[in-house]
Amino acid sequence: MTLIHQALLFDSPEQFLAAAVPFVVDGVHRGDTVIAVTSTDNTRLLRERLDGTADQVTFLEPAGWFDSPGRTLDAHYRRIDALATDSAFLRVIGEPVWAGRDELETSEWGRYESVINVALADARAWVMCGYDSRTLAGTIVQDARRTHPRLAVGTASEISADFTEPASYYASRDTPLAPYPVSGVEWIPIHPDLAPVRQFVAEHGPRFGVPADRVDDFILAVNEIATNVLRHGGGKGEARMWATDRRVVCEITDSGTATGNFLGFLRSDPHSERGHGLWIARQICDLLEMRTGPSGTTVRLHMRRAF
């Protein structure tokens, strides 16, 4: 078996439990690694219904697991890599966090839900994503039907008639980037010596609000993308930095055109000497936007501001 990716659409505790409990119990009996990343109320209900079986389930906080699209995808990879036997599966019953997300975050998390179908296509994983129609916007619930090949209905599974192939869904999210501010933007050219770019981030990142314990991470992420400019983007480019009310953004542009789909979402061959930059940047940053075409490539790295 390979990846099973389901959306559990529910509007009552009974509907949630009808699908979640058999999913978890069967996984425990099979010896799978079972993780529950659900809301406080649903975690309590699951623990009560599972009784002693709950001790064999790893319960995690949604805010930590669904921290950023890149890190969440990597968390799946790491759990799959750690499976005890060749017959074991990773089973995750999760409720993605949508409350408090702005438009950009919502869009990128939708992209993540679609890309997981490709990134984990050959993995021994069964991921069931819960969507509570009582509290979520209708557009988010409808989007779940587009990003999940199957729907969980009680103990049964049915094909989602609205499922959209990931490449098409991904392309639909490639809307024009929001314009950067007309003021309050710092700028530096990118040349073969990247030391000035690293110093640029070290100086302006904290001033714009990058948390002190994440400045070095931000420097690393920017350095990885700037290195791509030198290798694939014609050897020179530009870096800009500014702050929004929620995040610090570093935008890197060059004249090159990137090829391929799902860039930075697919884990590179660990034995390859190249091809890791975008993947590393996605792990480090809270969000990463990328647009590429005949006129060049733009990558925006986002870090949440310290408040």
Asked whether residue 26 is domain-assigned, the answer is yes
The average pLDDT across 70-86 equals 93
Instruction: Decide if pLDDT at 52 tops 90.
Output: no
Same-domain status, 9 and 141: yes
Same-domain status, 8 and 117: yes
As a whole number of angstroms, the distance between CA 123 and CA 121 comes to 6
The average pLDDT across 45-59 equals 94
pLDDT reported for residue 236: 85
Asked whether residue 180 is domain-assigned, the answer is no
Contact 144, 131 (CB under 8 A): yes
Q: Which of 90-94, 129-133, 153-157, 185-189 has the lowest mean pLDDT?
A: 153-157
Q: How far is CA 90 from the centre of its chain?
A: 18
The predicted-structure confidence for 242-281, as pLDDT tens digits, reads as follows: 999 999 999 999 998 888 889 889 887 665 555 689 999 9
Kindly report the average pLDDT of the chain as a whole number. 94
Start-end of H helices in the chain? 13-30, 40-50, 62-65, 69-81, 103-119, 138-147, 166-172, 195-208, 215-232, 277-284
Q: Give 64's contacts (C-beta < 8 A, 6+ positions apart).
A: none
Q: Residue 70's closest CA among 229, 296, 290?
A: 290
Sheet of 237-243, strands arranged across:
186-190, 237-243, 247-254, 296-304, 287-293
Asked whether residue 179 is domain-assigned, the answer is no
Burial class from Cβ neighbours inside 10 Å (0-12, 13-18, 19+) for residue 273 reads exposed
As a whole number of angstroms, the distance between CA 304 and CA 128 comes to 28
As a whole number of angstroms, the distance between CA 101 and CA 106 comes to 6
pTM value is 0.93
Quote the domain boundaries for residue 114.
4-172
As a whole number of angstroms, the distance between CA 25 and CA 53 comes to 7
pLDDT reported for residue 137: 96
Same-domain status, 112 and 35: yes
Same-domain status, 247 and 107: no
- Domain endpoint, select from 113, 148, 172: 172
**Phi, psi torsion values for 201, nearest 5 degrees:** -70, -40
Q: Residue 255's closest CA among 222, 221, 293?
A: 293
Same-domain status, 95 and 151: yes
- Domain endpoint, select from 172, 206, 239: 172
Q: Give 133's contacts (C-beta < 8 A, 6+ positions apart).
A: 9, 10, 11, 141
Asked whether residue 11 is domain-assigned, the answer is yes
Asked whether residue 119 is domain-assigned, the answer is yes
Asked whether residue 134 is domain-assigned, the answer is yes
Q: Give 176's contacts (C-beta < 8 A, 6+ positions apart).
A: 291
The average pLDDT across 208-218 equals 97
Same-domain status, 123 and 199: no
Same-domain status, 33 and 135: yes
Handedness of CA 9, 11, 15, 21 (dihedral sign): positive
The average pLDDT across 5-34 equals 96
Asked whether residue 168 is domain-assigned, the answer is yes
As a whole number of angstroms, the distance between CA 188 and CA 84 comes to 49
* CATH assignment of the domain containing 296: 3.30.565.10
Give the number of domains in the chain. Answer: 2
Three-state SS at 123: coil
Q: Give 117's contacts (C-beta < 8 A, 6+ positions apart).
A: 3, 5, 147, 149, 166
- Domain endpoint, select from 172, 197, 223: 172
The predicted-structure confidence for 113-168, as pLDDT tens digits, reads as follows: 999 999 999 999 999 999 999 999 999 999 999 999 999 987 788 999 999 999 99
Same-domain status, 192 and 274: yes
Start-end of H helices in 98-194? 103-119, 138-147, 166-172
